[in-house]
Structure 1
Amino acid sequence: MIASAALAGFALVALGMVCTPGPNMIYLLTRSIMQGRLAGFISLLGVVLGFVVYMISAALGVTALLFAVPFAYGVLQWAGALYLLWLAWNAIKPGARSVLEPRRDLKVDGPGRLFAMGFLTNLLNPKIAILYLSLLPQFIDPTKGHVLAQGVLLGLTQIAVSFTVNLAIVFAAGTLARWFATRPSWLKLQRWVMASVLAGLAVRLVMDRRPA
């Protein structure tokens, strides 16, 4: 099976990616602050299902097939980049509010919709597809045993890391919101930092070359 060092290295890669602000983090923060930790947790379960779908798709070669078709990969790149830019604009447009600022004007969603939106948010997250196609294969060693089993083990490692970090985000959302509520200038700074990171990710996504 996979060497411990390789598994630890992939876990660090997964940790770096989940700590990068993106659609998943924004959605979980918003729902946790507005509807509480239970709503955030249900949303997180939907996100996890999205990870499982990616893991299975990568194992079966569906993701590889998608990236092998230049047109399909281009559509994924631009759709993902536009989505990230849309999120960035919504963070800084006139009248915009920070995801850490409690809101009362958003519709309260039921468990089913929370789960579904968490799932779709993750499924439309382009950096997850890139993670499973570009990065995960680099940690697989055919000489160490069954390739499919190694892929599943790496996928489960990524899911475990992401679940742990996102669960911490769900539980800390309320505390962060209260801290920022007494510091308006920090809320404004957070919005611009978030928008800058999202825009940077969008530019990087469209600039990336198609994996070989």
Structure 2
Amino acid sequence: MVFPVDPAVLLPFLAAVVLMEITPGPNMSWLALVSLSQGRRAGLAAVVGITLGLSIWMIAAAFGLTKVILHWPALYHSIRWAGVGFLLYLAWDAWRSNQGAAQDVPPVARQRQLFRRGLIGNLLNPKAALLYVVLLPGFMRAGYGSPLSQALLLGSLHVLVSVALHSIIVLSASRAGGSFLTRHQGPVTRALMSLSLVAIAIWTAWQTRL
């Protein structure tokens, strides 16, 4: 039985994926902020949403659907600016919570909200789509599985690596933020969260330009 992908490409592929994932980006920054401000369970709920969003883009890329974005720059930029706008909305929502009682929201409801935000944020990130379009073909070889099976296997490996690294970020940030949160809950902390999200939105707009 022929292995679906060339075994010789697995280590280089994993190395490339790890290098990409440890490069600071919107997901990493947002997860750190969520985990610092709301704790481990909130951060892990966000990880699940991010992972689902990445998985949808990966499957779409494996079936060749995301190539449409390369042929329609207007579509790319529509998704791009929608993603930036969503981050700015999150910043505004964090700022408005200064006037409310965010702590009164039940933990389960807050985790569902973070799951949805992680999912929507990644579905509105066209770089996630282009990542698979650009990355996967360079590690696919003739004589092994079909292009679809190779793309799905390699893409799944990327998703697993992202889950592992995102979870490490959440666990590290939540530990670091535990003692801080017990002393510094209040408007200043939430205002810093809001300003950080604005910075992430600006950074995303710059990094996703073509």
Given the two structures, how large is their TM-score scaled by the length of structure 1? 0.70
Of the three residues 10, 14, 38, the one matched with 2:41 is: 38
CA distance in 2, matches of 1:20, 1:84: 22
- Compare 151-160 and 128-137 and name the one that shifted more: 128-137
> 5+ unaligned residues in a row in structure 2: which ranges?
182-191
CA distance in 2, matches of 1:121, 1:151: 23
Is residue 139 of structure 2 the alignment partner of residue 136 of structure 1? Answer: no
CA distance in 2, matches of 1:12, 1:163: 15
Is residue 177 of structure 2 the alignment partner of residue 174 of structure 1? Answer: no
What is aligned with 1:26? 29
Percent identical among aligned pairs is 35
What is aligned with 1:49? 52
Determine helix, strand or coil for the equivalent of 2:66: helix
CA distance in 1, matches of 2:79, 2:206: 14
CA distance in 1, matches of 2:206, 2:151: 29
Determine helix, strand or coil for the equivalent of 2:165: helix
Q: Deviations over 1:49-76 (max 9, x none)?
A: 1111011111222211232223223434
| Residues 138 and 112 of structure 1: CA distance in aligned 2, closer, same or farther (over 3 Å) | same
Does the 8 Å CA contact 2:39/2:178 hold for their aligned counterparts?
no
Shift of 1:48: 0.9
Does the 8 Å CA contact 1:48/1:159 hold for their aligned counterparts?
yes
CA distance in 1, matches of 2:171, 2:128: 23
CA distance in 1, matches of 2:65, 2:49: 21
What is aligned with 2:72? 69
Does the 8 Å CA contact 1:77/1:205 hold for their aligned counterparts?
yes
Given the two structures, how large is their TM-score scaled by the length of structure 2? 0.70
Does the 8 Å CA contact 2:50/2:118 hold for their aligned counterparts?
yes
| Residues 34 and 178 of structure 1: CA distance in aligned 2, closer, same or farther (over 3 Å) | closer
Q: Deviations over 1:168-188 (max 9, x none)?
A: 01100033347999xxxxxx9
Determine helix, strand or coil for the equivalent of 1:157: helix
CA distance in 2, matches of 1:84, 1:5: 40
Does the 8 Å CA contact 1:51/1:159 hold for their aligned counterparts?
yes
Structure 1 residues 180-191: aligned runs within 5 Å: none
Does the 8 Å CA contact 2:31/2:43 hold for their aligned counterparts?
yes
Q: Deviations over 1:7-46 (max 9, x none)?
A: 2222222212221222212222222222221111111111
The amino acid across from 1:2 in the alignment is V
Shift of 1:127: 2.5
Does the 8 Å CA contact 1:32/1:39 hold for their aligned counterparts?
yes
Is residue 32 of structure 2 the alignment partner of residue 10 of structure 1? Answer: no
CA distance in 1, matches of 2:85, 2:175: 28
Pairwise CA RMSD of aligned residues?
Answer: 3.3
